[in-house]
Amino acid sequence: MTGRLEGTRCLVTGGSRGLGRELCLAFAREGARVAFTFRRREADAEDTTLRLRALGCEPQCFQGDVADGAHAQAVVGALTRAWGGLDVLVNNAGVQHVVPLALLEEPDWDLMLNTCLKGPYLFSRAALRGMIRARKGTILNVGVFSSERIVEAPAHYAAAKAGLRGLTDALAREVGRHGVRVNMLSPGLLDVGLGRMLMPHRVEEYRAQAALGRTGTAEEVARMAVFLVSDENTFMTGARVTPDGGL
């Protein structure tokens, strides 16, 4: 621990498990105040809460759908009342769903786009007013390597993350003059999330193509996120950082 985020007020959507959990833990280890949202898995949320408390962090935890505008406003409002504001928003909530487009049902398409694209819009909108008033803040959108390179990936997942890339670019331009930075972290296959859902031969193909010859870990990506949201990173906005092992 270096205390790089000492006192920083951080909100991570989809923080109860997988990469979201590792982000919360990494931020807490660096001294941040941590809040996270989750949708359904109460046991995972409780586990994350216990792990954060073991690090000396007393987290705020909110259950709801990131695609619900009232939920986004309520979460940011509660944190503003409790903490006096929000310094960091990480739009991490996602859906892992692997199915060919020809077999994809319309509700599955809607869930993916609502979670991975509408959710970041709603939470960013809710957080930005306070950040703009403070003339300081950071939004980090969690994407995926398939939005940066042409690779085989579920079409609705790739489409949602490509939209998130566009949102990142446009929003960085829009709010930079107010001192707010917006970046995108697009990891490759990890030991959590989609990396656990793909067929084993797909994972082996990834390893064979990656310069480092392996998939990544959520902990590695979380350490990078610490830098991206910290005050050490003062001159980067609109950037897309892609830790993928060298595809």
Query: Which of 157, 189, 192, 215 is flagged as catalytic?
Result: 157
- Share the mean pLDDT of the chain: 92
Annotated catalytic, 206?
Answer: no
84 pLDDT higher than 90: yes
Could you read off the pLDDT of 117-149 as tens digits, one per residue? 999 999 999 999 999 999 999 999 999 876 555
- The whole-number pLDDT of residue 245 equals 92
Vertex 17 angle, CA 15 and 22, to 5°: 70
The residues, any chain, with a CB within 8 Å of residue 94's CB and separated by 6 or more, are: 14, 115, 116, 142, 193
Could you read off the pLDDT of 48-65 as tens digits, one per residue? 999 999 999 999 999 999
CA torsion, points 69, 72, 77, 82, in degrees to nearest 10?
A: 160
Domains of the chain in start order, with CATH, are 9-241 (3.40.50.720)
What is the distance between the alpha carbons of residues 123 and 76, in angstroms, rounded to a whole number? Answer: 8
**Mean predicted confidence (pLDDT) in 218-228:** 97
Q: What is the pTM of this model?
A: 0.94
